[in-house]
Copies of this chain bind each other. A is one copy, B any other.
Amino acid sequence: MTYCLGIYLKEGLVFASDSRTNAGVDHIATFRKMTIFEKVGQRVYFLLSAGNLGTSQAVVNHLTRNLGDKTSSINLYATKNMFEAAEMIGDVLRDVHAKHGDHVRAAHADPGADFLFGGQVKGGKHRLFHIYSAGNFIEASPETPCLQIGETKYGKPILDRVITHNLALENAVKVTFLSFDATMRSNLSVGLPMDIATYREGKLKVDRHVVVTEADQYHAEIRRNYNSGLIELFRSLPTPPWLS
């Protein structure tokens, strides 16, 4: 299972993905689910995937091998804006489904894969999309700043409480840790390492890209402090009057 999160802020973008791939009970493998395409000063793309690993890796490979090839129709660096780039990814995804979909379904597996795609192209705004397995997509907005794919529900309540479009990027990263912590506690098939990347609006280069492993001190600390703080908060709340 996978959990990927994208947050659309006034200040920029935050992306996070776990890297656990679950293929059956006794085989849990680790794969990167975040791909970053960067041409400093020109454009930056962040692409995160959840779902069938064959499908998502095929899409990433098609996009990567043609990058910068001016003769190719699927050169992500040739698109005029984020919308065109999202459309191109949707088209590649449809091509992959056309080639492999029926064969995967014949093997009783689901070829579906979803993507989060965000970034900025020079001259345009920073944007964030959820590209569905069908190849169509929706865009994050100030009213709906968080997009999630994969195992989304466990980590949603804390986002709903805290995230707004105007939140400072640092704080959005903090919530990201908490949202992943909730997910990893409730679903063992989502696990570390976790990729976190941040982008600051207008910079046209990656701000930070960090791989959080079990050895990460900040992760251990926020996880511990949040849990003990929550339990303390819980204790401080009154019990129902009809029980006392």
Are B243 and A169 within 8 A (Cβ)?
A: yes
Known: A226-B233, A230-B233. A240 touches B174 (CB 8 A): yes
Query: A185 near B: Cβ within 8 Å?
Result: yes
In the complex, chain B residues whose CB is within 8 Å of the CB of A225: 237
Least CB separation from A239: chain B residue: B170
Are A153 and B242 within 8 A (Cβ)?
A: no
From residue A218, how far is it (CB to closest CB) to chain B in Å? 5
A153-164 CB contact bits vs B (8 Å, 1 = yes)?
A: 111111011100
Query: A143 near B: Cβ within 8 Å?
Result: no
Are A156 and B186 within 8 A (Cβ)?
A: yes
| Pick from B170, B183, B226: contact of A243, CB under 8 Å | B170
- Residue total for A at the interface (Cβ-Cβ under 8 A): 44
Tally of this chain's copies: 2
From residue A229, how far is it (CB to closest CB) to chain B in Å? 4
In the complex, chain B residues whose CB is within 8 Å of the CB of A240: 170, 173-174, 177, 210, 218
Query: A221 near B: Cβ within 8 Å?
Result: yes
From residue A71, how far is it (CB to closest CB) to chain B in Å? 40
Are A230 and B185 within 8 A (Cβ)?
A: no
Are A170 and B244 within 8 A (Cβ)?
A: yes
| Pick from B185, B221, B242: contact of A210, CB under 8 Å | B242
